[in-house]
Structure 1
Amino acid sequence: MCGAPKQGGDLAGIDLTTQTVIQGSVWHDGAPVAGAYVRLLDETDEFTAEVVTSPEGEFRFFAAPGQWKLRSLAPIGKGERVLTADVGLNETTVAIG
């Protein structure tokens, strides 16, 4: 069982001038993927964190600014996205191919 926090919801009360938030969704064939595992890896591919997507395919991480890799794993396949996150809200989509 994953101990990840519930995904989704708004960012009320989060100071985006001091926090680096990486959030987005996982998609496959034009539809969100619920229950996918999304891993956050640092620039050396070292595992940092993992969450499970919400029913709407959403995920969120709080991280440091810098280069990150998102890797999604689901029964229907896997996907990957590299991004550079800055302080504030960083939104992305990970496509399962």
Structure 2
Amino acid sequence: MTQGCAAPEQTAHLPATVDLSNEAVIQGTVTRDGAPVCSAYARLLDSTGEFTAEVVTGDEGVFRFFAADGDWTVRVLAAGGVSVDNTVTAKTGEVAGLEVAI
């Protein structure tokens, strides 16, 4: 199944086919009052604020991006006009984790 921009369904576990030694991963969970938020949009913006990618959170509220090393902003958009920005640094060989409470 795909969601948004043909991205694969977002799940909490990194797919077994991902070789983390060659990837920089930005992954997070969107929650509201402690419960996962599905169907929120997570947008990846580069260090200049330019839009790079977008995925829709799955049933577990999870989003994931594979990014180049460096500083990024993840903007989460949800029902009710909610917009939350978080900055994160991606580094090859690591999963940069975010917990986004809206």
TM-score (norm 1): 0.90
Task: Give the stretch that moved more between structures: 47-56 or 5-14.
Answer: 5-14
In the alignment, structure 2 segments of 5+ residues that lack a partner are none
Asked if the contact 1:43/1:69 (under 8 Å) is kept, the reply is: yes
Task: Give the stretch that moved more between structures: 66-75 or 81-90.
Answer: 81-90
Cα deviation, residue 11, structure 1 = 2.6
Q: Does 1:25 align with 2:29?
A: yes
Instruction: List, as ranges, runs of 4+ consecutive aligned residues in structure 1 with deviation greater than 3 Å.
Output: none
Q: Distance in 2 between matches of 1:95 and 1:43?
A: 22
Cα deviation, residue 14, structure 1 = 1.1
TM-score (norm 2): 0.85
Q: Does 1:6 align with 2:25?
A: no
In the alignment, structure 1 segments of 5+ residues that lack a partner are none
Q: Distance in 2 between matches of 1:11 and 1:17?
A: 14
CA RMSD of aligned residues (A): 1.5
Q: Distance in 1 between matches of 2:36 and 2:85?
A: 15
Cα deviation, residue 7, structure 1 = 0.9
Q: Figure out how many residues of one structure are paired with residues of the other and give that number.
A: 96
Q: Distance in 2 between matches of 1:32 and 1:54?
A: 9
Specify the alignment match of 1:69 in structure 2.
Answer: 73
Q: Distance in 2 between matches of 1:71 and 1:40?
A: 7
SS in 2 for 1:17: helix
